[in-house]
Structure 1
Amino acid sequence: MPDHRTPPLPSINQAELADATADLREANLEFARRHPGDPPGRQPVHTVYGGAQLFGADAAAKIAGVARRAMEEYVATPAALGEMLDVAGHRSLDAVHARVREKLAREAVEDFRVDFEDGYGNRPDDEEDHHAVVVGEELARGIADGTLPPFIGIRVKTLTEELRLRSMRTLDVVLTTLVTQAGALPDNFVVTIPKVTMVEQVDYVVAVLRQLERTLGLPKRALRFEVMVETPQIIIDHEGRSLLPRLVEVSDGRLTGAHFGTYDYTASLNITAAHQRMAHPANDFAKHVMQVTLAGTGVWLSDGSTAVLPVPVHRTTPGSALTTQQQAENRAAMRDAWRMHFGDVLHSLEGGFYQGWDLHPAQLVTRYAALYFFFLDGIEAAGARLKNFVEKAAQATLVGNVFDDAATGQGLLNFFLRGINSGAVTEAEALRMTGLTEEDFRGRSFVRIMNARTGMAADTAR
């Protein structure tokens, strides 16, 4: 039994510290309010963008079909996938191939954004009004038919003086049509606001969303939004501060995500088109600022897109077939585009961005391949490390030693939480590898796990 010695009388007079204690308590509570941590729900691993003029209730199914056909034509076997992505012989290749195939069959599209901005362009008002009505109707039909992806929303135009009224009219027409016909919003519906440059734009969006909720009879804060981070001014404003924390403050709790716009951002820095790529150092700097300023706020981060699309150079026509040379050129085009996208997704994951944009159905193949390679590569070792951390920490606490490596344990726990979220790892696999429980994973906190283990161990010792 440990020798519990009587401590000396305290030297700190808490009564004399009342004012300082009150100040610290207020500051602690304010810090907790500003940094509630990650939301408990699932974060989609991607957002697929498509022009509003093409949207239909069956969009997700059509995209899935194109993705599956691309996989069957070019990477039907694990060996073909390994050659195409330059990972031949990788020990996880068979598992990754099987999981990508299963994912494309079960739920190829996690998040879809109906685009009224860059993917739609500037059109006459009556034409955009028409498409806004159709989008509202198709969203309502998708709710009724159960064909919408788990996450969905629309991207409107930017809120400059030239486009503000058009942007909000489109939002109004879509939502009024949708709610009138369906009586509710789709699950996880979000509005994307592009090219945000000032706090007042978010103030304005919040005012519009509040009014729409009242007019359409929607619950308070039913309408949520995400911002596009694609201008230098949102990263560092004219006063030398990042705008992002202030956007969270004025968002009325409605800001769900911050999505990086690769090409608008690099263009605004005068980076030439030939060098506008996902992994450009300028982009990494901006994304580091996003991570630092939004850490712990509950705002999801998303990386941008790869603009080089996996599209065959040659297409067949009725009554004709491709030559051997044309088939080889198609494979080369698919290989180059897929390798670029695969590398970009891995770069995002390594940098802590677990969501990104996909612009073409065939990119879903490499989106999920990159995710699954990232999480399956070394997962057994990570599971053993986490299991060892948990066991050693509990033992150390019992003998009175201090365990001060909770950050490492939390990092390993986050790896599994993200792996489960992405579908790369099943919950059953995570439980087996780590020795943790479902409740442990739901709590999302390594410190909480350690406290529970320490308490149980202490009870057993008594």
Structure 2
Amino acid sequence: MNTHPTLPGPCSGHLSELTGELGALADARLTGTDRLVRGRWATPVTWRQPVHTVYVPAQLMTGDASDPDIAGTWGDAALSTLESYGSAAFPETAAAALARELGVPDAEADTVGTLTVAKLRREPVEDLRIDFEDGYTRRGVPPEQWDSDEDDRAAEAAGILARWLGRDATAPDRTGPSPAFAGIRFRSFDPDVRDRGLRTLVIVLAGLHDRGVLADLLERDRRALRLTFPKVQHHSQVEALVEVLTRIEEKFGVPEIPFEVQIETPQAVTGIDGEAEPARILAAGAGRILALHYGTYDYSASMGVDAARQSMEHPVADHAKDVLQVATAAVGVELSDGSTNRIPAGSPAEILDGWRLHHRLVTRHLRRGIRQGWDLHPNQLVTRHLATIAYFRASWEESAARLRAYVTGDTSRWMDEPATAKAMAGYLLRARGCGAVTDDELSLTGVTTGQLRTLQVTGRL
């Protein structure tokens, strides 16, 4: 016997009344959650994210070693090494041969090689960080001059960044391909180095402000200037940086200054209370955090991994990046993998071994859904761009065909859902951004670039 009460029939009017009451109850209970569902939790990375960050120590970017065209210098060096591969007469031929050696199918190798060389000529470095932290050394500088030396280099760094990121792309001192994204890595907020890091940060920002670049840049493209905050161990350090930047903004009269956080300590993955610290770090950033960057070697060493076993693919690295990937998913924050310190240099065999390793690591994090990593040497640009272009060319045609079918309602071969449509649209936009596919190829989707961005966010047109 059925003892459950029977709901009123739909024609009685009571059902509509009950539904309205329940809806009001749910609305009142979920007001805060609804804001997250419609806002913060619905913010995938739809803008251009650099495929890599190149780290150059400050002493190699300033002083007598200053090279305002360092992106072009690195690109030329990468092409020179590539040209010597297999005694090839042309870089495109060498790049195609290397692509085959690294496992790119024959049918795609020539195209991948040609596109890689074009990228190395047009935009070899997408994102560059002038490093005032671990990479910065003061060999040959007397200790009593360390502060003045760093002051001078920070002031020079401001001038370099102004040339790269300033509005006037025809300035006489801008001769080569400048990075689209650039900035500094300053020292951490560890007590022993905090004051020095703050001083360098202020000198660089003041230099950009005095040149009339800072406010214009932040208004025009808040993601172009990158300030990397290293060795964060607790979200209170992020809160302190937000307060510091707020004071600087008030002093200079400029818009909000965003920054990146480098995750390279165990405490930044699991907090002292056992909670996931990355989520607290992002909350402490109050909307300013552009990206989380994983630090391979500091993190591995902190976890007790021996130097010979430290790697981007070690299990402790994968665990940390899994946590970071969950924390940054769909909240408008980029995620970057770290670096490998195995450089493709030396004999031809040693260079090839280094390329094989780097190519595998770049492809690996792309397959994991992590779209960015670090590069430390010009020769790594070869496999950075080759691996990225090969990855995005591998499935672009199928993705374009499936998306076209999804948009037109053709279910004869695929029955994709909105979540898959979002992923395919994002994949194709990244393929276009890194130079793996052309606009003509992208037109096979049957939708415009603007419509692709709408699909990436909503899964629907």
Specify the TM-score bucket, using the shorter chain as the normaliser: 0.7 to 0.9
Q: How many residues align structurally?
A: 418
CA distance in 2, matches of 1:164, 1:190: 19
1:227 to 244, 247, 261: 261
Once residues 250 and 428 of structure 2 are traced to their aligned partners in structure 1, the CA distance between those partners, rounded to angstroms, is 41
Distance in 2 (CA, whole Å) between partners of 1:156 and 1:236 is: 24
Q: How many angstroms apart in 2 are the aligned matches of 1:259 and 1:423?
A: 23
**310, 319, 340: which one pairs with 1:306?**
340
SS at match of 1:44: coil
Picking from 414, 423, 429, the partner of 1:411 is: 423
1:133 counterpart SS class: helix
User: Which segments of 5 or more consecutive residues in structure 1 lack a partner in the other structure?
Assistant: 1-5, 313-329, 397-402, 453-462
Answer yes or no: is the 8 Å Cα contact 2:128–2:183 preserved in 1.
Answer: yes
Partner of 2:6: none
Instruction: Name whichever of 372-381 and 292-301 sits farther off.
Output: 372-381
Question: More deviation in 106-115 or 240-249?
Answer: 240-249
Compute the TM-score of the two structures, normalised by the length of structure 1: 0.84
Contact 1:417 1:444 in 2 (8 A): no
Q: Which deviates further from its counterpart, 124-133 or 42-51?
A: 124-133
Q: How does 1:177-256 map to 2 (within 5 A)?
A: 177-184=207-214, 188-218=224-254, 220-221=255-256, 223-256=257-290
The whole-number CA distance in structure 2 between the counterparts of 1:58 and 1:68 is 15
Deviation at 1:182, TM superposition (A): 4.2
1:169 paired residue among 199, 215, 221 = 199
Q: Does 2:147 align with 1:117? A: no
Q: Match for 2:73: what amino acid?
A: K
Give the C-alpha shift of residue 65 in structure 1.
1.7
Cα 1:349–1:295, aligned 2, differ >3 Å: closer, same or farther?
Answer: same
| Inter-partner Cα distance in structure 1 for 2:99 and 2:163 | 40
- Contact 2:96–2:112 (8 Å) recurs in 1: no
Distance (Å, rounded) in 2 between the aligned partners of 1:130 and 1:196: 26
Is 1:57–1:139's contact at 8 Å kept on the other side of the alignment?
no
Q: Which amino acid letter does the alignment assign opposite residue 351 of structure 1?
A: R
- Which residue number in structure 1 is paired with residue 115 of structure 2? 99
1:440 corresponds to which residue? 451
SS in 2 for 1:166: helix
CA distance in 1, matches of 2:457, 2:406: 10
TM-score by length of 2: 0.84
Give the residue type in structure 2 aligned to 1:232. P
Output one character per residue of 1:231-268: Cα deviation in whole Å (capped at 9) or x when no partner: 11111111111111122222132100000111111111
**Alpha-carbon distance in structure 2 between the residues aligned to 1:183 and 1:406:** 41
Taking a change above 3 Å as real, the CA distance of residues 394 and 172 of structure 1, as seen in their structure-2 partners, is: same
1:16-70 per-residue CA deviation (whole Å, 9 max, x = no partner) reads 6534321223321134343241244211111000011121422222222212212
Look up the match of 1:336: 353
Q: Name which of 152, 156, 159 aligns with 1:130.
A: 152
Identity score, percent: 38
Rounded to whole Å, the distance in 2 between the matches of 1:36 and 1:279 is 30
Give the corresponding residue for 1:50: 56
Q: Report the RMSD for the aligned CA atoms in angstroms.
A: 2.4
Kindly provide the amino acid, as one letter, of the partner of residue 352 in structure 1: G
2:49 is paired with a residue whose SS is coil
Bigger mean CA deviation after superposition, 146-155 or 203-212: 146-155
The 2-side partners of 1:431 and 1:296 are apart by 26
- The 5-angstrom pairing of residues 221-300 of structure 1 reads 221=256, 223-300=257-334
Conservation of the 8 A alpha-carbon contact between 2:184 and 2:227: yes
CA gap of 1:15–1:127, structure 2 versus 1, over 3 A, is same
- Distance in 2, matches of 1:141 and 1:395, equals 54
Runs of at least 5 residues in structure 2 that lack an aligned partner in the other structure: 1-8, 62-66
2:443 aligns with one of 420, 431, 434: 431
Shift of 1:446: 7.2
Name the aligned partner's letter for residue 245 of structure 1. Answer: A
Q: Distance in 2 between matches of 1:64 and 1:231?
A: 33
Quote the Cα distance in structure 2 between the aligned partners of 1:442 and 1:89: 30
| Correspondence for 2:366 among 349, 352, 370 | 349
Determine whether 1:150 maps to 2:150: no
Q: Secondary structure at the match of 2:261?
A: strand
Q: Is the 8 A contact 2:259 2:290 kept in 1?
A: yes
C-alpha distance in 2, partners of 1:107/1:435? Answer: 28
Structure 1 residues 17 and 377: alpha-carbon distance in aligned structure 2, compared to 1, 3 A threshold: closer
Contact 1:112 1:152 in 2 (8 A): yes
Determine if contact 1:409/1:446 at 8 Å carries over to the other structure: no
